[in-house]
Amino acid sequence: MTASAATTRTQVATGRRLPRADRLALHIAIVLILIGWLLPTLGMLVNSFRPAGDVSATGWWTALTPTARFTFDNYSHVFDQAGIGNAFLNSLFITIPATIIPVSIAAFAAYAFAWMSFPGRNILFVIVVGLLVVPLQATIVPVLNVFRTVGITGSGSAVAQALPFLSVWLAHTGYGLPFAVYLLRNYMGGLPKEVFESAEIDGAGHATAFFRLVLPMSFPALAALTIFQFLFVWNDLFVAIVYIGATNGTKLPMTATLANLVNSLGGDWQYLMAAAFISMALPLVVFFAFQRYFVRGITGGAVKG
């Protein structure tokens, strides 16, 4: 690293002490890094709009000339033939409850951890912190066994027929809880004590205090957590293929369907690219719309596993 890279923003703030040549080098370095970072996604995006023949014959960068042809055929193909439309709906059905349930249950628990006293409170919370890093892989064999016995996974049982995603909702809730409880408890614990005292004077119960005071005041943490969990579940592959089954075609979310397409479509890049972009569209919108909260969720919970 060069000396210019090591300087700090103080200099920017207190009149640019960097020589002109160094500033130019700085801008060039940053622009090159960003181009390098965006190039992979850009190539995908361009190819998803090109006709099949062109994609396999020439590189995507040749499409940056005025004579290039573009088409929406790839998108209509993956919607009609590859089941991407259905998978998109499945992803929504999986992600919405798998976000609401853990955030709510974690909020109940975090409120108790932060504002009620009971024996074993500290040791229980330390266990929650420890559970942050448990690898999912270590949990699936026994959980699958119980799910099969109870009949909420697989295609045979009545419960799985009626509520095909129940197993994934519960699994994402269990796996998301340590981080959710950790983040919310730390935030709720920092709320001013006076609020609760005045609420008790007014004779309000815990339910009222929780819904009227704690939840609204914890909005930044709740928003961060909700967005984080939403993206985590939407982008998840492992939990989906384990509890729904990699071959259970019509019930799979976007990620698993896309992973299957990689095998079945192989070299048909234009379709893969279109499918990949559809799977990214919603997370990208969520990301750009709520970036502030997303960043807070990450910096606030850096110990998440």
- Pick out residues in 113-152 that bind another protein (CB under 8 A): 113, 116-118, 121, 124, 126-143, 146
Radius of gyration of the chain (CA): 24
From 71-79, 155-163, 191-199, 217-225, span contacting another protein (CB under 8 A): 155-163
- Helix intervals (H) in 49-192: 52-57, 73-80, 84-115, 121-131, 140-150, 158-162, 166-188
One of 24, 150, 195, 246 touching another protein (CB under 8 A): 246
Tell me, residue by residue from 44 to 83, as one string, x for binding to another protein by CB under 8 A and - for no binding. x--x-------xxxxxxx----------------------
Residue 107 contacts by C-beta under 8 Å, 6 or more apart in sequence? 184, 210, 214, 215, 218, 222
Q: Which stretch binds another protein (CB under 8 A): 73-81, 100-108, 151-159, 193-201?
A: 100-108
Footprint on residues 177-236 left by another protein (CB under 8 A):
177-178, 181, 189, 205-207, 210, 231, 234-236
Q: What distance in Å separates the CA atoms of residue 5 and residue 96, rounded to the nearest whole number? A: 43
Q: Token pair for residue 6?
A: 């090591």
Residue 70 CB, shortest distance to another protein, in Å, is 17
Cα gap 171→142, rounded to integer Å: 12
- Name which of 180, 178, 184, 171 is nearest 131 in CA terms: 178
Minimal distance, residue 249 CB to another protein, in Å: 15
Least distance (Å) between residue 75 CB and another protein = 15
Host H or E run for residue 283 = helix 269-289
- Check if the beta carbon of residue 217 is closer than 8 Å to that of residue 161: no
The SS3 assignment for 7 reads: coil
Distance of CA 124 to the CA centre of its chain: 27
In this complex, which beta carbon is closest to another protein, that of residue 73 or of residue 174?
174
Q: Which one of 69-77, 149-157, 196-204, 279-287 is the stretch in contact with another protein (CB under 8 A)?
A: 279-287
With beta carbons less than 8 A apart as the criterion, state whether 270 and 55 touch: yes
**Residue range at the interface with another protein (CB under 8 A); choices 110-118, 151-159, 195-203, 216-224:** 110-118
Provide the minimum distance between the beta carbon of 300 and another protein in the complex, in angstroms, as a whole number: 10
Evaluate whether 99 touches 233 at the Cβ level (below 8 Å). yes
Q: What string marks each residue from 8 to 37 as x (binds another protein by CB under 8 A) or -? A: xxxxxxx---x-------xx-xx--xx--x
Residue among 1 and 201 whose Cβ is closer to another protein: 1
